[in-house]
Amino acid sequence: MLKVGIIGISGRMGLELARIGVDRHIKNQLTVSAATVQSGDASVGRDIGAVVGRDLIGVVCSDNVVHAVKSSDVVIDFTIPEHSLYIAKLASIERTAYVCGTTGFTSGQMLTLQEYAQSTQLFWSPNMSITVNLLAFLVKKAAGLLNSSFDIEVLEMHHRNKVDAPSGTALMLGKAAAEGRCLNFDDVKIFDRSGKRPKDGIGFAVLRGGGVVGEHSVIFASNEERLELKDVVYSRAVFAEGAFAVLDWLVKQTPSKLYSISDYIESIAK
């Protein structure tokens, strides 16, 4: 049975991952091999089942991420870029598969992730939702079919505590639009706006407030009409479910690239 370690279960996403992991452990669908929290967290030494309001499973929370990686076939991590890079490094050394849903990586950090992916099965996606990734597919198609008279704008809204802006998903959608237009994303992205809209620019608008889980819209606007493609997420559980969905598939892949949700979707669609 697949041994799964869950990194950082104190945060919103970490708790969702822990709940699903424990439920599947109880149903004998997988084995939760480890669960980590920050040093000094009140959950250190507590059974992960108790932490998420489920039956005890005999696995206690720890701040030892090295042990978590070593004792698992695959680890799941939705934390922060610096910590995730450390986990990726450990996973590459131990040849442990790694599913990462962390957002906010710099371009240099992404290159480092790609280097680690040469040594182990490494999967990264800024959004594990199937519908959001379908949205990216549709955005790329629409951008290619609609001519440059249609301006492209990406609008996103998340809860008040989200740190990175624009969100990783918004950036993914903007890149999909740029690919559809055969444009270099870095040349056309607009994060800070002043003055007249430049030709071929892809603008981003960011909203933060309340407890919004995630809303993303891509707008194609001409002088005569407007097309809006939108995805709304009501529960973080969809991201956690997506992370667990790829586990069995990922461990069968060859370490050669940084795998994404698109690779998974294409594989199961064949």
How many angstroms from the chain centroid is the CA of residue 218? 19
H or E stretch at 261: helix 261-269
- What does pTM read for this prediction? 0.79
Predicted confidence band of residue 243 (pLDDT cuts 50, 70, 90): very high
Provide CB contacts within 8 A for 144, sequence distance 6+. Answer: 180, 181, 182
Q: Which residue has the higher pLDDT, 263 or 32?
A: 32
Region 170-195 average pLDDT: 95
In angstroms, the CA 32 to CA 1 distance is: 10
At residue 49, does pLDDT exceed 90?
A: yes
Predicted confidence band of residue 262 (pLDDT cuts 50, 70, 90): confident
In angstroms, the CA 159 to CA 111 distance is: 29
H or E stretch at 156: strand 151-158
Q: Which residue has the higher pLDDT, 130 or 179?
A: 179
Predicted confidence band of residue 270 (pLDDT cuts 50, 70, 90): low
In the chain, what are the domains? Answer: 3-124+237-269 (3.40.50.720), 130-234 (3.30.360.10)
At residue 127, does pLDDT exceed 90?
A: no
Predicted confidence band of residue 205 (pLDDT cuts 50, 70, 90): very high
Q: Is 220 helix (H, G, I), strand (E, B) or coil?
A: strand
- Report percent pLDDT > 90 for the chain: 87
For residue 221, CA distances in Å to 154, 202, 226 come to: 11, 11, 4
Instruction: State the pLDDT at residue 194.
Output: 85
Locus of tokens 């889980």 = 213
Burial class of residue 250, CB neighbours in 10 A (0-12, 13-18, 19+): buried
Instruction: State the pLDDT at residue 126.
Output: 87
Cα 217–221–222 angle (5° rounding)? Answer: 170
Predicted confidence band of residue 70 (pLDDT cuts 50, 70, 90): very high
pLDDT tens track for 92-123: 999 999 999 998 899 999 999 999 999 999 99
Indicate which residues carry an active-site annotation: 158, 162
Is the CB of residue 244 less than 8 Å from the CB of residue 20? yes
Region 243-264 average pLDDT: 94
Region 216-243 average pLDDT: 95
Q: What is the mean pLDDT of the chain?
A: 95
Region 145-171 average pLDDT: 95
pLDDT tens track for 4-30: 999 999 888 999 999 999 999 999 999
